[in-house]
Amino acid sequence: MNEKSNKLISLLASLDRTQRRGCRKLIQSAYFSGNADLLSIFDEIALRIDKSRSLDKKQIWSAVFGKSKAYNDVRFRKYTSDLFKLIKEFLTQEALAAEPELKHYLYLAALEKQSPDKLIRGVERNWDDLDETKGSYERSTYLYRHLLEYRKYSLLNYEHRPYERANVEAIGATLDIYFIVVKLRQAVHTQSRIQTEQYQYDLQLVPEVVGFLDRTGVYLDHPIVAVHYYMYKMLVTADNHEAYYRYKEIILNRTENLENDQAYELFQPALNYCRRRINEGVKEFLAEYLEVYRYGLDRNLVYDDGLIDPLQFRNTILIALRHGDYEWAEHYIENYQDRLPAKQRTNAVNYNSATLYFYQNNYDKALDFLRDVEYENTTYNLNSKTMLLAIYYETDADTALDSLFDSITAYLNRHKEIPDINQRAYRNLVSFTRRLTRMLPGDKKAMDQLKADLAKKKYVASRPWLEEKIEEFTKY
């Protein structure tokens, strides 16, 4: 096979059954081809791909033409080249069918070229029927609308109608909205990368776009602009929660007509914001997370390919327990465990059931479930050890607790692959809990020092539990 043939095979192999049927119809069409030989070669190559048979060009030729035509390499290359172009044409037609605004634009371009006066007047009368932007969260809709408005200006010859109101505002506004949304999306993605990478990025005009919206509020009545504006604000203004509440109002009340993949894309930033605030100790966001998550649960927005990520499953249960929603947490474990990946399901259920019973102070039951947790990775190992630490502390198992301090430290020393942030978090937990167990009741100076040292540490595993135990000890 030559390079063209290899491209053809790669493209043909990517088509699913429905696409293959559509492609066959296009090849059969007299408008596009109507060449019976091309159709036969298409079918033969598709069959050989499905059956994992040889794709040798001479064998394909022989299967299609038998002995009636001697193999002609030049002709075969022409066939494969034409087939490649026809499959590309099919995919282009398929993509065009999914872009109605682009089809409208191309139709108007054709009308302008043909200049049928009656049809052009009809377009002018029924222009509003073409508007797909109302309430749309699809940024490309505004780009297409801009192109349509620009085409309307040309089609209706406004250049030579100076005393009539033209659509110049619509031309500008649709382009403005598209540009603003694209810049805000870039800014959001860049800001997210900055939080996880060591690199810095310099995006031009983002401050100007955000400043313009801050000052004027223009275009914030368009949901697509508002949702991206507040999404960006949530990333850069952690101490002011107004952007989050505005964002939440939009996604909970003005996205009911969105497809699930679009709604999912808007739903996740709200959860991420809540998690960040919870990690900073802002307790009001426990309830906020649960409200948003339950909304997503009702709309099937929490699933990735029909499954719940085990980490999200654990985080959600932990947040519910910290909020005191024990009954809901138990309901969630029982009713949604089947949505966990099969290989991780048993471990996730055992660990999270142990967490539930721990919060209910049923330590014996918690230990029973913990014993069944398999330490398949460092996360389960450290989380289980952390829960054991808390259980031993709560049950005054001092000897076991001292041994566990050493066990956790040794485990961290052995596993250098554990990220530095996590290393520090678990080492700090061990250090502060050990100091707390050595504390004498009434030693206010030592307790104040412990609190001050804890406040200085950015990374401490199980910080809420540790702070709670310190407060309890203070009351002795």
In a domain, 463, yes or no: yes
- Is a pLDDT exceeding 80 seen at residue 122? no
d(CA 96, CA 144): 13
Tell me whether residue 249 is in a domain: no
Residues 52, 126 within the same domain: no
- Based on C-alpha coordinates, what's the Rg of the chain? 32
Q: What distance in Å separates the CA atoms of residue 225 and residue 182, rounded to the nearest whole number?
A: 10
Residue in 157, 161, 163, 174 with CA at minimum distance from that of residue 111: 157
pLDDT in tens, 150-163: 888 888 888 888 88
Q: By percentage, how much of the chain surpasses pLDDT 90?
A: 69
pLDDT at 193: 77
Chain-centroid distance, C-alpha 84:
34
**What residues make up the domain containing 385?**
377-476
Structure-token pair, residue 351: 């660990």
The answer to which of 175-184, 219-228, 255-264, 300-309 has the lowest mean pLDDT is 255-264
Structure tokens at 322: 């910290």
Considering only 153-162, 247-256, 358-367, which range has the smallest mean pLDDT?
A: 153-162
One domain for residues 161 and 189: yes
Residues contacting 297, CB < 8 A, separation 6+ = 336
The C-alpha atoms of residue 63 and residue 48 are separated, in whole angstroms, by 11
Shared-domain flag, residues 58 and 104: no
In a domain, 148, yes or no: yes
The distance in angstroms from the start CA to the end CA of the chain is 83
* Structural domain count, the chain: 3
Tokens standing for residue 110: 């054709």
Examine the domain organization and report whether 92 and 106 are in the same domain: no
d(CA 152, CA 288): 46
Of 76-80, 117-121, 296-300, 447-451, minimum mean pLDDT range: 117-121
Q: What is the DSSP letter of 304?
A: B
Domain boundary pick from 203, 236, 269: 236
User: Rounded to two decimals, what is the model's pTM?
Assistant: 0.78
- Dump the DSSP string for 96-137: HHT-HHHHHHHHHHHHHHH--HHHHHHHHHTGGGG---TT--
Give me the mean pLDDT over the 430-437 stretch. Answer: 95
pLDDT confidence band for 210 (50 / 70 / 90):
very high
Task: Report if residue 247 sits inside a domain.
Answer: no
Q: Which two tokens stand for residue 217?
A: 């509020």
Residue 153 CA to residue 15 CA, distance in Å, equals: 40
Is 199 part of a structural domain of the chain? yes
Residue 195: per-residue pLDDT: 66
Domain final residue pick, 45, 71, 97: 97
pLDDT tens-digit readout, 55-111? 999 999 999 999 889 999 999 999 999 999 999 999 999 999 988 888 888 888 888
Confidence category of residue 387, pLDDT binned at 50, 70, 90:
very high
- Residue 402 pLDDT: 95
Residue 357 forms part of a structural domain: no
Residue positions counted in the chain: 476
Give a yes or no: residue 295 inside a domain. Answer: no
Q: Which of 42, 62, 97 is the last residue of a domain?
A: 97
Q: Is residue 152 part of a domain?
A: yes
Band the pLDDT of 3: cuts 50, 70, 90: very low
Q: Judge residue 322's burial from the number of C-beta atoms within 10 Å of its C-beta, 0-12 exposed, 13-18 middle, 19 or more buried.
A: middle
